[in-house]
Amino acid sequence: MKKLSFLVIIFSILFFACNSNDQRVNEAENLINDLDSVKEEMQAVDSSEIALKSQSYMANIEAIQSVFNDTNHTDEEWELLTQYSTIKKPLRDYSKKYSIFMKELNYSITQIESLIYEYEEGSIDSVKYDSYYHTEMEVANNLMLQVQVELTKTKESSNKYDSLNPQIEKYIEEKKLNE
């Protein structure tokens, strides 16, 4: 009976230890999946299209500056120009930050995969694993938040560009004709 009780205790400890290990690895794998999802969201936004919109925006701004004078503008034209001016920064920033974000996302995934590997191989114990994982999780969550904010701003600006650009081009043509 004592042997049976001892074996039950040993198997219980091993069972709970394995479940704890599986839970740690599952959490890390879920974080990798979250990072992959953010990468896919970034890839879904066509960076070359955003770059073209940014270039077109800059060309339109130059054209506006060449025909612009402070007089003879309606309130609607002022409103249009003001709204259009808010597009520049998010489009430009996304083009600049895309490759940086992708490198950081890939690096974070690699770090977490290495951490899982070292833990499963026994190279690091659960205490070190938990400490390292907590650090990697904070870094990954901050990165995902930054990317999400940038994606939201970029999508909003891209949509705004799509709706305002025809009006801006019409404005430029009308001003050129009136010169």
What local confidence, expressed as pLDDT, does residue 10 receive? 52
d(CA 133, CA 80): 49
What is the residue range of 139's domain?
24-177
pLDDT tens, 43-98? Answer: 999 888 999 999 999 999 998 888 777 667 788 988 999 999 999 999 989 988 99
Whole-structure pTM value: 0.77
6-26 mean pLDDT: 59
In this structure, is residue 65 part of a structural domain? Answer: yes
In this structure, is residue 134 part of a structural domain? Answer: yes
Q: Which of 157, 51, 146 is nearest to 102 (CA)?
A: 146
User: For the chain, how many structural domains are there in total?
Assistant: 1
In this structure, is residue 18 part of a structural domain? Answer: no
Is it the case that residue 40 has pLDDT exceeding 70?
A: yes
In this structure, is residue 13 part of a structural domain? Answer: no
In this structure, is residue 78 part of a structural domain? Answer: yes
- More confident call, 16 vs 22: 22
Question: What are the CA-CA distances from residue 72 to residues 81, 146, 168, 175, 176 (Å)?
Answer: 14, 42, 16, 10, 14
What local confidence, expressed as pLDDT, does residue 53 receive? 94
What local confidence, expressed as pLDDT, does residue 2 receive? 55
